[in-house]
Amino acid sequence: MIRRASLVLVGALMGATAMGVVYSATIPAVAANSSTYRELAIFGDVFERVRAQYVTPPQDDKLIENAINGMLSSLDPHSSYMNSADAEDMRTQTRGEFGGLGIEVTMEEDLVKVTSPIDETPAARAGVLAGDLISKIDGQDVRGLKLEEAVEKMRGAVGTPIKLTILRKGADKPIELTIVRDVIAVRAVKYRVEGDVGYLRVISFTEKTFDDLKKGIEKVKADVPADKLKGYVLDLRLNPGGLLDQAINVSDAFMERGEVVSTRGRNPDETRRFNATPGDLADGKPVVVLVNGGSASASEIVAGALQDMKRATVLGTRSFGKGSVQTIIPLGDAGALRLTTALYYTPSGKSIQGTGITPDIKVEQPLPPELLGKVEAQGESDLRGHIKGQNEDDEGSGSVAYVPPEAKDDIQLNYALDLLRGKKTDPSFPANPEQAELKK
């Protein structure tokens, strides 16, 4: 039922960079003309003068890396150079598993705070609790470290031990724990039953996403009789993207036919189309897709496919608007080049680059008082140097990306539940696949 596309990473990191990737080692280089090589000679001269005369001795590798990134960042916000460590980190993210402890963390008062231990992981078995503050890692103070640095120290080879010093509310003294790292599989999809509705939240598009989604749908079906099940909420809010093949598979999970997405490069013969195959895991039940300004790239592919093919009603606010694809070109031990090589298009032939997905039903999620003035709308069209979208002059992209921690405060989710239960009505719900206008 599910078509396995080639490995493509399509995602957005909310900030100055974004990911959207095809892995390839066979893209040929095109020879430059003689004037270009003269310009390169000037670069070499500048490089040597900086090395010889700058006030403090610079690092050669940093100079070259920054020069490469300067060239790539002048193209668009998503093309960049990844050194070997960055490239490996990206591969770890897309696999959806790593050697570690199994805790979700944040930073609080310069200490690492455990927001949640993941079930059946070394941390959970060792007794780490939500709310614990990690003050030392292998005897080194956490204060002064960035969160990313602390997380990197806690990750490591499977089977290796790590010592944590924990401050716990109510404990008389710090708690010392020695934990042995294991393989941590990060759930790409979280699911639950909301009475008579299945709730599926896709966190990211890793190699595990479709399998997690399938398990979620099967669990919903097992818990709710078919004649009682009103439908599904597919929550793509705050989802920065990930693997294209997983976006295609997630879309295909709800579709019986039709195009999911196409990618178009600089040459017409580079156009690729991906189609759904027969078999709807949701058995035709109504679907409401939630999006906001944090829904980007791969999540926009899913929302756009289900919207264009009239398989789902999209609810929320305008999505981020990242519609470009980056090719990853391995550079051996030196890392990899991430280069924008194509744009992707929804089944109706629309590019969402710089415009995003417009929801069928616009529902704003108000910010709590403590966040007013601190959280602003952000989208691809706000990024300096982005590739301008075909409809960007009319619309622009993005919106505020905020989801309340408590479901009772989630206006967008509760609106979707009311639609599925018939408490609210709208002409766009339920969507009817038979009314889809296929691109000629």
Q: What is the pLDDT of residues 306-365, one digit of tens each?
A: 999 999 999 999 999 999 988 888 888 888 998 999 999 999 999 999 999 999 999 999
User: Comparing 58-62, 71-75, 82-86, 294-298, which segment has the lowest mean pLDDT?
Assistant: 82-86
Q: Which residue has the tokens 């009817």?
A: 432
Output the pLDDT for position 437.
63
Percent with pLDDT over 90 in the chain: 62
Indicate which residue of 251, 297, 299, 399 is catalytic: 297
Provide the pLDDT confidence category of residue 302 given band limits of 50, 70 and 90.
very high
Residue 21 has pLDDT above 80, yes or no: no
Query: How many whole angstroms separate alpha carbon 22 and alpha carbon 6?
Result: 8
Cβ-Cβ contacts under 8 Å for 5 (sequence gap 6 or more): 244, 245, 248, 249, 274
Output the pLDDT for position 155.
87
97-185 shares its CATH topology with 189-435: no
Q: Determine the Cα angle at 31 with ends 27 and 33, to 5°.
A: 150
Cβ-Cβ contacts under 8 Å for 192 (sequence gap 6 or more): 199
Q: Which of 195, 223, 257, 189 is nearest to 420 (CA)?
A: 195
Query: How many whole angstroms separate alpha carbon 285 and alpha carbon 281?
Result: 9
292 SS3 class: coil
Architecture of domain 189-435: Alpha-Beta Complex (3.90)
pLDDT in tens, 421-438: 999 999 999 998 887 765
φ/ψ (deg, to 5) at 340 = -70, 125
Q: Which residue has the tokens 């009475």?
A: 195
Provide the pLDDT confidence category of residue 30 given band limits of 50, 70 and 90.
low
423 is catalytic: no
Output the pLDDT for position 32.
66
What stretch of H or E contains 153?
Answer: helix 147-154
Output the pLDDT for position 51.
94
Q: Are strands 361-362 and 313-316 parallel, antiparallel or unpaired?
A: parallel
Is the distance from CB of 296 to CB of 320 less than 8 angstroms?
Answer: yes
Q: Which of 135, 137, 134, 167 is nearest to 152 (CA)?
A: 137
Residue 12 has pLDDT above 60, yes or no: no
**Fold assignment, 97-185:** Pdz3 Domain (2.30.42)
Secondary structure of 194-219 in the HEC alphabet?
ECCEEEEEECCECCCHHHHHHHHHHH
Q: Determine the Cα angle at 143 with ends 138 and 149, to 5°.
A: 65
Average pLDDT over residues 25-29: 54
pTM: 0.81
Is the distance from CB of 20 to CB of 326 less than 8 angstroms?
Answer: yes
Output the pLDDT for position 19.
41
pLDDT in tens, 126-180: 999 988 999 999 999 999 888 888 988 998 888 999 999 999 988 899 999 999 9
Indicate which residue of 308, 310, 319, 399 is catalytic: 308
322 is catalytic: yes
Residue 330 DSSP symbol: E
Cα–Cα separations (whole angstroms), residue 34 to 47, 48, 68, 77: 20, 21, 20, 29
Residue 399 DSSP symbol: B
Query: How many whole angstroms separate alpha carbon 379 and alpha carbon 387?
Result: 12
The domain ranges of the chain are 97-185, 189-435
Is the distance from CB of 153 to CB of 100 less than 8 angstroms?
Answer: no
Residue 119 has pLDDT above 90, yes or no: no
Output the pLDDT for position 31.
62
Residue 89 has pLDDT above 80, yes or no: no
Residue 431 CB neighbour total at 10 angstroms: 20
Residue 222 has pLDDT above 70, yes or no: yes
364 SS3 class: coil
φ/ψ (deg, to 5) at 261 = -165, 155
262 is catalytic: no
What stretch of H or E contains 44?
Answer: helix 34-53
Indicate which residue of 322, 350, 351, 381 is catalytic: 322
Average pLDDT over residues 104-108: 85
Residue 184 has pLDDT above 70, yes or no: yes
Average pLDDT over residues 22-31: 54
pLDDT in tens, 374-392: 778 889 999 889 999 887 8
